[in-house]
């Protein structure tokens, strides 16, 4: 009898899961291939003369400095994380203890007048294409880049250069960015499941439990 009741309860649980469950999925995918070539785009902000045929040159001394956005207004559902993938060259050292330029991706927070709430991630040439993930967990402390992007429906990013001056940090402080892709991951909006699809199973489960209770009372 216990096994039979367990089977009925399991069937009811499956019905409820089908009716109300949701799995994380890709809610949106956006890609910017930078340059002047066919199909390529320019970022919303970059220095004069920095756009190449298949890349954009990000330079420390350029004004304005590179910045680009991904419009999230077409995304529907509950956003759980952002995966920003950057393809680049000449941005970082060949190893964590190596000398050389040290560029960082900078995902912008809510305060336009401060960098304290931005999220910074060091770029490494050997990691290109390098993926940077932002979620609720990356907002702990001062940064609020994830929450700001969700609230404004706009994912904005730029770069910061963190190299010392003089010897041994010789060389031009610039790198080439070929592309940026943003994957938005979360729970899609649920499509209501018609009641007839699960109601018979639920009713059978409830009826089975009632029948079992009556059998126990008679015995």
Q: What is the CA radius of gyration of the chain?
A: 26
The span from the CA of 91 to the CA of 88, in Å, is 7
Non-local CB neighbours of 88 within 8 Å, separated by 6+ positions: 123, 125, 128, 130, 175, 176, 177, 178
Backbone angles phi, psi at 6, to 5 degrees: -65, -40
Q: What pLDDT is attached to residue 216? A: 60
Distances (CA, A) of 110 to 9, 58, 119, 147, 173: 48, 23, 11, 9, 27
The span from the CA of 126 to the CA of 88, in Å, is 10
pLDDT in tens, the chain (219 residues): 434 444 333 333 433 333 445 578 999 999 999 999 999 999 999 988 899 999 999 998 888 889 999 999 999 999 999 999 999 998 876 555 555 678 999 999 999 888 889 999 999 999 999 999 999 999 988 899 999 999 999 999 999 987 655 554 455 588 999 999 999 999 998 766 565 656 665 566 666 655 555 656 655
Residue 156 tokens, joined: 């904005």
Distances (CA, A) of 117 to 2, 160, 219: 56, 14, 69
Residue 155 tokens, joined: 């994912």
Q: What pLDDT is attached to residue 172? A: 57
The span from the CA of 141 to the CA of 116, in Å, is 10
Yes or no: say if 52 and 176 are a contact pair by the CB < 8 Å rule: yes
Non-local CB neighbours of 144 within 8 Å, separated by 6+ positions: 109, 110, 117
Q: What pLDDT is attached to residue 12? A: 39
The angle at the Cα of 184, spanning 59 to 148, to the nearest 5 degrees, equals 65
Select the CATH number that applies to the domain covering 28-191 from these four: 2.60.120, 1.10.150, 3.60.21, 3.20.20. 2.60.120
Yes or no: say if 145 and 70 are a contact pair by the CB < 8 Å rule: no
Residue with token string 């991630």: 121
Q: What pLDDT is attached to residue 194? A: 60
């Amino acid at each position: 009898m216990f096994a039979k009741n367990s089977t009925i309860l399991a069937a009811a649980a499956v019905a409820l899961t089908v009716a109300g469950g949701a799995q994380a999925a890709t809610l949106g995918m956006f890609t910017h291939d930078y340059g002047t070539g066919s199909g390529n785009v320019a970022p919303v902000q970059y220095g004069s003369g920095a756009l190449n045929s298949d890349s954009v040159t990000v330079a420390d001394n350029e004004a304005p400095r590179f910045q680009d956005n991904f419009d999230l207004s077409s995304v529907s559902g509950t956003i759980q994380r952002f995966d920003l993938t950057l393809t680049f060259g000449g941005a970082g050292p060949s190893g964590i203890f190596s000398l050389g330029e040290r560029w960082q991706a900078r995902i912008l927070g809510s305060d336009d007048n401060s960098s304290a709430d931005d999220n910074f991630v060091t770029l490494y040439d050997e990691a290109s294409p390098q993926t940077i993930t932002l979620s609720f967990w990356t907002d702990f402390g001062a940064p609020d880049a994830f929450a700001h992007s969700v609230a404004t429906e706009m994912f904005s990013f730029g770069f910061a250069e963190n190299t010392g001056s003089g010897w041994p940090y010789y060389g031009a402080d610039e790198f080439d960015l070929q592309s940026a892709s943003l994957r938005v991951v979360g729970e899609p909006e649920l499509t209501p499941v018609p009641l007839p699809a699960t109601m018979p199973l639920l009713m059978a489960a409830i009826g089975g439990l009632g029948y079992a209770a009556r059998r126990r009372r008679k015995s």
